[in-house]
Amino acid sequence: MIMAVKTTQTYRNNGAIGALLDEYERALRDMKTVIETVTPTELTTIADTVTKDPDCLSIQTVLAHVVRSGYGYAIYIRNHAGERLPFCETHLLDSSEAYNQAIDAMFAYNVQVFDDYPNMDIEELDDSKKIVTRWGQRFDAEQLLEHAIVHILRHRRQIERFLVKLRP
């Protein structure tokens, strides 16, 4: 039996781009919910003493990486469309509230890409025309947004695991 789901969610109506932005926003909303009770001490405490990755030491470094990467995905797409924008630096913030605001601003920047380029073809089958990332992966805009969504999910999970360690 199929059950109807009643929801007050407003969905974007611009096809695949709308679906991707809706899911990106949902992933970010879940991330923000996880971090809203993080204390300043939990934010800055080194939770992974083994990693060699400076972006994965603490909740603070993970969130700074998430925000910088989120801007980076939008900048990759803009640069692929012909702009020449520099990539952002990492900025460590001092509270979960500040990170929630930074996440909101980063997401708005991503939405603006598709407001600025409403007719962008987000799917590209020709590998030579795809966006090449600094880590060597090739993506079209659709794949890059899919990566952005999963990136948030993975780091939300990482933060949840850090909180298990930090909250005995």
C-alpha closest to that of 31 among 159, 130, 120: 159
Indicate if the pLDDT at residue 9 is higher than 80. no
Helices (H), 81-140: 96-116
Residues 6+ apart with CB under 8 A from 83: none
C-alpha closest to that of 126 among 137, 117, 139: 139
Predicted local distance difference test score (pLDDT) of residue 78: 98
Bridge partners for 131 per DSSP? 139
Predicted local distance difference test score (pLDDT) of residue 14: 83
What is the enclosing helix (H) or strand (E) of 149? helix 141-166
Could you give phi then psi for residue 138, rounded to 5 degrees? -110, 130
Tell me the domains of the chain and their CATH numbers. 15-166 (1.20.120.450)
Bridge partners for 132 per DSSP? 138
Q: What mean pLDDT value characterizes the chain?
A: 95
Confidence bin at 6 (pLDDT 50/70/90): low
Predicted local distance difference test score (pLDDT) of residue 116: 97
19-58 pLDDT, tens per residue? Answer: 999 999 999 999 999 999 999 999 999 999 999 999 999 9
Predicted local distance difference test score (pLDDT) of residue 80: 97
Residues of the chain with pLDDT > 90: what percent?
Answer: 90
Give CB contacts under 8 A, 24+ apart, made by 98-104: 99/35, 99/63, 99/67, 100/32, 100/35, 100/36, 102/63, 102/67, 103/28, 103/31, 103/32, 103/63, 103/66, 103/67, 103/70
| Amino acid in position 132 | V
Across 63-80, average pLDDT: 98
3-state SS assignment for residue 85: coil
Indicate if the pLDDT at residue 3 is higher than 70. no
Predicted local distance difference test score (pLDDT) of residue 50: 97
Confidence bin at 5 (pLDDT 50/70/90): low
**Cα 37 to Cα 26, 27, 41, 77, 78, distances in angstroms:** 18, 17, 11, 33, 34
Q: Which residue has the higher pLDDT, 5 or 82?
A: 82
Predicted local distance difference test score (pLDDT) of residue 2: 62
Indicate if the pLDDT at residue 165 is higher than 60. yes
Predicted local distance difference test score (pLDDT) of residue 11: 85
Indicate if the pLDDT at residue 101 is higher than 80. yes
